């Protein structure tokens, strides 16, 4: 197995041809290269003979103003590293696909002009399957960048060149960035970038973006394209020969192209091919733009598709892949060395169930239980909470406030039981921050090593039971850091059904890092209590996932993922990613924690039938917490949990520290809080990503379900006479 390979598991997904067009040469079965198309007539056409009807990129828009440069390419090829190097900004860089799910923007100076650089999610072609690909293509179509930098992995150049040819055919202003040349050289690969540039007719720049090698040359080529005379892109000089696998299909492309009258972001030929591939989003756009002429286009598409052995987009991919193979023969030499040694053996062990599961258990035990639970939630929290806050900060601030402010009502805003400093700041800094910091350190090490894609391969078959593919491991593992961030990352999943299931499980059964740290810290002293929490939450995860997969209709997801080489985590990467995430998290939670304290203070000042509004809410929650065997003080913690679940977990931690929550009630409280409502921030992202109706359905299910599980668990443990 090579240094950067594809692992593929077949599924009965009805759109398998759409995936085969990308990965046919990487099937792990024996097949002839031209199987299924050998009987089709062949002819030859050249990209240089195709007329380009382009609406973008022909000429620089203006000699003045900020220009746009978009970075595109497959996942995990170094796009974000290049973005960081060009702009000096920071976006997360990881050794697994799917890191970037949103658009990142930055600026830098090129000569006298400003250039805006846009980092896009990974995409394999202009025919989107996943949500992240739709986001990337929409940007190319709507914002029309002045230059597009396609970043490719030199080790997998032959697999990525078909996308290059598609971008060229679309008439987009392209520069090809051949990245990771250092690792390709270690494998004995040689790539002649000058010859590749001659054959493609576009600028080709070799780089090693992590070290900065080739970036000066890239800036020069960018300046030529953005501010030089003449066209940004050239018609291909030598013309890469593309052999149609179907003359009938080639004629259909010409027929649809002739019928198109509107102006599009891509060339009419590229639009014609996408339409023949039944690109539903593009079909709607063309229908709106072409008006009455759309009916003739649709008839031409239907005629062309009749009797084909494979979907047109698969056949188009085969054309481009054959052309890419010829390019590789001309401009590169294959690797002469294979990966061996300890790293490759460890990589193989990680994806085999017999050895992969013990490795996973070791990672969980050392990373989460010992480092996050024992060290973060134990040693660090005790140090900050008991010695720093309880022993020094809180007494000093309380005394100072009481001396300076004579009004008790105003004192309550800053100190005492629900004060901004004694509650909001204390929870955020003394309890949440050390737990989150230790988790982000562990996660940065795991992701930088390349372990996540191997974990996805390991648990793919298990995830199929709950309607997910192994690719879902990325958002679900991220959920242990922050459910809000993880809900965004569900965009990497292919089908809406899979995204809804993952969103539900993230909201229900995946504790965030602060919750998890508190749980591990409080239950680690009793292995039986911790085991009960793991079993109950695990069963909920499995049962709800399984039932959701049966209730929700839709396409089953196929599984494919790029497996990067195992790497020794770089200290600079680990620290920079951990710092960036901690900064983001802290800037998000601290204002919210302080705001919650203010809201509680306001609620306590509003009289309502003899009590304050806050007291009525607490009184309403007390019957619920009493029904699951918890002391009435936990009602406040669950109210905190509505704003942020980690805030609620911190409240339970505080109650345990005061001796008010122990034994069976502690286990029941931890299970119920884990299954409790998603926090406000996650709720808003769910609404943005899944829609209001789906979000309300998820929340409407979770609230009664969490209390039901807590009620059943409390009475079952008492019935069995369990004591801790």
- Higher per-residue confidence, 97 vs 537: 537
Angle formed by the axes of helices 571-605 and 645-657, nearest 10°: 80
What is the predicted pLDDT for the residue at 504?
A: 96
Give the span between the Cα atoms of 705 and 699, in whole angstroms: 10
pLDDT at residue 495 greater than cutoff 70: yes
Model pLDDT for residues 606-653, shown as the tens digit of each residue:
777 777 777 888 888 899 999 999 998 899 888 878 777 777 888 888
Domains and CATH numbers, the chain: 5-48+241-333 (no CATH), 55-227 (3.40.50.300), 353-719 (no CATH)
Return the pLDDT at 249.
Answer: 83
Q: How confident is the model over 521-529, as a mean pLDDT?
A: 86
Measure the CA–CA gap between 663 and 130, rounded to whole angstroms: 46
Most confident of 175-184, 604-613, 651-660: 175-184
Residues 227-283 have pLDDT tens digits of 875 343 443 434 455 656 677 888 888 999 999 988 899 999 999 999 998 888 888
Instruction: Report how far residue 113's alpha carbon sits from residue 133's, in angstroms, rounded to the nearest whole number.
Output: 30
**Average pLDDT of span 311-333:** 90
Q: What is the pLDDT of residue 152?
A: 95
Phi, psi of 331 (to 5 degrees): -115, 10
* pLDDT 10s digits, 35-94: 332 222 233 333 333 333 333 333 334 445 689 999 999 888 888 889 988 988 655 544
Question: What string of DSSP letters covers 634-655?
Answer: HHHHHHHHHH-HHHHHHHHHHH
- 682 confidence band (pLDDT: 50, 70, 90): confident
Q: First-to-last CA distance in the chain?
A: 50
What is the rounded distance in angstroms from the CA atom of residue 667 to the CA atom of residue 628? 11
- The single-letter DSSP state of residue 542 is H
Q: How many CB atoms lie within 10 A of CB 255?
A: 18
Tokens of 25: 């040469």
pTM of the complete model: 0.70
| Averaged pLDDT for residues 467-485 | 87
Strands 147-153 and 67-72 turn out to be parallel
Task: Give the pLDDT of residue 91.
Answer: 56
* pLDDT value at residue 315: 87
Query: Quick check: 590 pLDDT over 60?
Result: yes
The mean per-residue pLDDT over the stretch 367-382 comes to: 88
Of 216 and 391, more confident? 216
Nearest Cα residue to 124 out of 112, 116, 132: 132
- With a pLDDT cut of 70, the percent of the chain lying above it is 86
pLDDT band at 497 (very low <50, low <70, confident <90, very high): very high
Q: Give the pLDDT confidence of 396-409 residue by residue, as tens digits.
A: 988 999 899 988 88
DSSP state of 417: T
The residue ranking higher by pLDDT, 701 or 109, is 701
Distance CA 272, CA 3 (A): 36
Give residue 429's pLDDT. 85
Q: 263-277, 515-529, 661-675: which range is least confident on average?
A: 515-529
Q: In degrees to the nearest 10, what's the CA dihedral of 644, 650, 656, 658?
A: -110
Output phi, psi for 263, to 5 deg.
-100, 135
Cα 64 to Cα 99: distance, rounded to the nearest angstrom: 34
Question: Could you tell me which residue, 292 or 604, shows the higher pLDDT?
Answer: 292
Which of the residue ranges 215-229, 421-435, 444-458 would you say has the lowest mean pLDDT?
Answer: 421-435
- Tell me the pLDDT of the chain averaged across its residues: 82
Tokens standing for 210?
A: 């992590």
% of the chain with per-residue pLDDT over 90 = 32
Rounded to an integer, what distance in angstroms lies between the CA atom of residue 564 and that of residue 5?
7
């Amino acid at each position: 197995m090579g240094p950067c390979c594809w692992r593929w598991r077949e599924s009965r997904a009805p759109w398998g041809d759409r995936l085969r067009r990308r990965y046919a040469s990487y099937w792990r079965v024996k097949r002839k290269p031209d199987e299924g198309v050998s009987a089709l007539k062949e002819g030859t056409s050249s990209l240089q003979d195709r007329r380009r009807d382009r609406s973008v990129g022909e000429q620089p828009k203006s000699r003045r103003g900020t220009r746009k440069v978009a970075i595109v390419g497959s996942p995990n090829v170094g796009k974000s590293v290049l973005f960081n190097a060009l702009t000096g900004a920071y976006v997360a860089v990881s050794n697994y696909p799917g890191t970037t799910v949103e658009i990142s923007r930055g600026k830098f100076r090129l000569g006298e002009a400003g250039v805006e650089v846009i980092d896009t999610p990974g995409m394999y072609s202009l025919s989107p399957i996943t949500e992240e690909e739709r986001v990337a293509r929409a940007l190319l179509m709507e914002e029309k960048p002045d230059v597009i930098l396609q970043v490719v992995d030199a080790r997998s150049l032959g697999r990525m060149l078909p996308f290059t040819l598609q971008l060229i055919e679309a008439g987009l202003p392209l520069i090809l960035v051949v990245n990771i040349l250092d690792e390709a050289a270690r494998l004995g690969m040689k790539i002649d970038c000058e010859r590749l540039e001659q054959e493609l007719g576009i600028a080709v720049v070799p780089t090693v973006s992590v070290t900065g090698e080739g970036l000066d040359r890239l800036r020069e080529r960018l300046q030529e394209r953005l501010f030089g005379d003449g066209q940004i892109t050239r018609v291909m000089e030598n013309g890469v020969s593309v052999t149609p696998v179907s003359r009938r299909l080639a004629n259909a492309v010409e027929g649809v192209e002739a019928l198109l009258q509107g102006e599009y972001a891509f060339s009419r030929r590229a639009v014609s091919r996408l339409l023949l591939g039944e690109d539903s989003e593009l079909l709607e756009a063309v229908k709106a733009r072409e008006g009455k002429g759309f009916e003739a286009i649709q008839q031409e598409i239907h005629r062309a598709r009749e009797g084909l052995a494979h979907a047109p987009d698969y056949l188009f991919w085969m054309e481009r892949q054959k052309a890419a193979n010829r390019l590789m023969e001309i401009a590169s030499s294959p690797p002469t060395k294979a990966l061996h040694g300890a790293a490759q053996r460890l990589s193989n062990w990680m994806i085999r169930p017999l050895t992969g599961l013990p490795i996973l258990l070791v990672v969980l035990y050392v990373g989460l239980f010992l480092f996050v639970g024992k060290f973060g939630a134990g040693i660090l929290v005790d140090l900050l909470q008991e010695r720093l806050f309880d022993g020094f900060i809180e007494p000093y601030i309380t005394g100072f406030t009481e001396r300076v402010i004579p009004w008790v009502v105003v004192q309550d805003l800053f100190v005492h039981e629900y004060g901004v400093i004694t509650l909001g700041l204390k929870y955020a800094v003394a309890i949440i921050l050390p737990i989150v910091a230790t988790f982000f350190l562990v996660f940065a090490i795991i992701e930088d090593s390349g372990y996540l894609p191997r974990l996805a391969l390991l648990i793919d078959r298990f995830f199929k039971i709950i309607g997910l593919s192994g690719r879902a491991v990325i958002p679900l593992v991220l959920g242990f850091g922050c459910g809000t961030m993880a809900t965004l990352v569900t965009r990497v999943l292919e089908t809406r059904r899979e995204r809804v299931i993952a969103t539900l499980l993230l909201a229900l059964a995946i504790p965030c890092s602060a919750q998890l740290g508190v749980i591990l810290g409080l239950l680690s002293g009793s292995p039986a209590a911790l085991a009960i929490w793991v079993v109950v939450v695990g069963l909920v995860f499995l049962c709800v996932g399984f039932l959701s997969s049966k209730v929700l209709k839709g396409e089953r997801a196929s599984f494919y993922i790029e497996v990067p080489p195992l790497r020794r985590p770089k200290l600079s990467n680990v620290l920079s990613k951990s710092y960036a995430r901690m900064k983001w998290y802290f800037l998000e939670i601290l204002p919210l924690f302080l705001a919650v304290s203010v809201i509680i203070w306001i609620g306590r000042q509003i009289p309502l039938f003899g009590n304050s509004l806050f007291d009525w809410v607490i009184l309403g929650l007390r019957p619920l917490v009493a029904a699951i065997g918890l002391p009435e003080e936990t009602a406040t913690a669950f109210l905190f949990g509505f704003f942020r679940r980690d805030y609620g977990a911190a409240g339970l931690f505080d109650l345990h520290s005061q001796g008010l929550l122990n034994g069976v009630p502690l286990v029941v409280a931890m299970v119920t809080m884990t299954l409790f409502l998603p926090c406000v921030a996650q709720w808003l992202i769910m609404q943005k990503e899944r829609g209001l109706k789906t979000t309300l359905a998820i929340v409407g299910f979770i609230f009664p379900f969490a209390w039901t599980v807590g009620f059943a668990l409390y009475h079952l443990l008492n019935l069995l006479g369990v004591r801790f």
